[in-house]
């Protein structure tokens, strides 16, 4: 089923699934009738009712519009959004119910995973902080497997390490947004620039990132070491530096290996725990 296949591809992203779920319910309500469609305002209101159950992520119009088009989930008619008719061909009511129920099951598993993550992040009385941090930076580690999205883990762990490192030297680093938010490419903020984080280390993605927040100097934080990429983008006018996962491990994290600096490792872990909690509650701000 093409519709279900498209939904499954978006299973990681609440902000994409929620509008799909809302419009699916709308189609089920009017099954075998003329479907009037929902406006952005109507979807937003229904989204607000959903988010108390599944997430605290604020609604943005782009959650719908970026999934709208000829080969996408939604089509737009007179400012009303419906499921693309090409995805509905030969589908029964039970098929639509299966798609909606799939989204519900994804959310149920996500809630269970969040509880597990919070339990995994209880670092009190743990003496192997350095080992834990190195594991969390390793995409293939058993620790990272417990999390649903490596990009989220990498962004948060990198932030925590850099934040504590810079704070010792008298500088500040902030992370106001969360992983899947419209932050204009500003993942971290410092006094004189921004930090852009990506786990999709390729020229096309990085070109898109660099075009965001034009005229602002930025540091690229990359989850992989690719020499050609590093050389290409270090020459970009507004890119002041590139920090790779190896830099974070070998330089910034290694800084804390000295016995008199180990006390800061717990602060890094506390920051990680706080940032993960904030992912699920955007009412908080960065510490």
Tell me the CA end-to-end span of the chain in Å, nearest whole number.
45
Which residue did the predictor score with more confidence, 126 or 8?
A: 8
- Please check whether residue 185 is in contact with residue 213, taking contact to mean a CB–CB distance below 8 angstroms: yes
Distance CA 262, CA 130 (A): 9
Long-range contacts of 251-260 (CB under 8 A, 24+ apart): 252/161, 252/162, 252/165, 253/130, 253/133, 253/134, 253/137, 253/161, 255/165, 256/130, 256/164, 256/165, 257/130
Q: What average pLDDT does this structure show over 225-250?
A: 90
Instruction: Note the pLDDT of residue 285.
Output: 36
The per-residue pLDDT for 7 is 94
pLDDT computed for residue 187 by the predictor: 86
Q: What is the pLDDT of residues 60-105, one digit of tens each?
A: 899 999 999 999 999 999 999 999 999 999 999 999 999 999 999 9
Q: Please give the Cα distance from 63 to 47 (Å, whole number).
A: 11
127's enclosing H/E stretch is none
Residue 82 bridge partners (DSSP): 75
Tokens, residue 209: 């990132």
- Asked whether 221 and 137 are in contact (CB, 8 A), the reply is no
Q: What is the reported pTM?
A: 0.69
H-run or E-run covering 74? strand 74-77
Banded pLDDT at 181 (limits 50, 70, 90): low
């Amino acid at each position: 089923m093409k519709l279900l296949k498209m939904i499954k591809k978006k299973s990681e992203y609440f902000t994409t699934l929620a509008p799909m779920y809302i419009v699916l319910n709308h189609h089920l309500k009017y099954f075998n009738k003329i479907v009037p469609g929902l406006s952005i305002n109507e979807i937003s209101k229904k989204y607000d009712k959903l988010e108390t159950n599944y997430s605290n992520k604020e609604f943005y119009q782009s959650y719908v519009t970026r999934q709208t088009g000829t080969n996408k989930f939604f089509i737009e008619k007179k400012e009303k959004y419906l499921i693309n008719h090409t995805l509905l061909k030969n589908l029964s009511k039970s098929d639509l119910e299966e798609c909606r129920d799939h989204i519900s099951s994804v959310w149920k598993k996500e809630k269970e995973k969040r509880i597990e993550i919070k339990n995994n992040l209880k670092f009190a009385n743990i003496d192997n902080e350095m080992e834990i941090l190195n594991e969390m930076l390793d995409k293939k580690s058993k620790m990272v497997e417990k999390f649903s999205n490596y990009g989220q883990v990498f962004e948060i762990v990198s932030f925590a390490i850099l934040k504590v490192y810079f704070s010792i030297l008298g500088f500040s680093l902030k992370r106001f947004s969360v992983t899947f938010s419209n932050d204009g490419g500003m993942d971290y903020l410092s006094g004189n620039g921004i930090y852009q984080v990506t786990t999709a280390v390729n020229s096309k993605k990085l070109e898109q990132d660099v075009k965001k927040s034009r005229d602002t100097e930025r540091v690229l934080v990359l989850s992989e070491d690719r020499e050609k990429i590093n050389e290409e983008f270090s020459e970009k006018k507004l890119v002041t530096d590139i920090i790779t996962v190896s830099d974070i491990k070998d330089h910034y994290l290694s800084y804390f290996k000295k016995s008199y600096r180990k006390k800061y490792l717990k602060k890094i872990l506390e920051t990680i725990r706080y940032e993960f909690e904030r992912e699920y509650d955007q009412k908080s701000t960065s510490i």
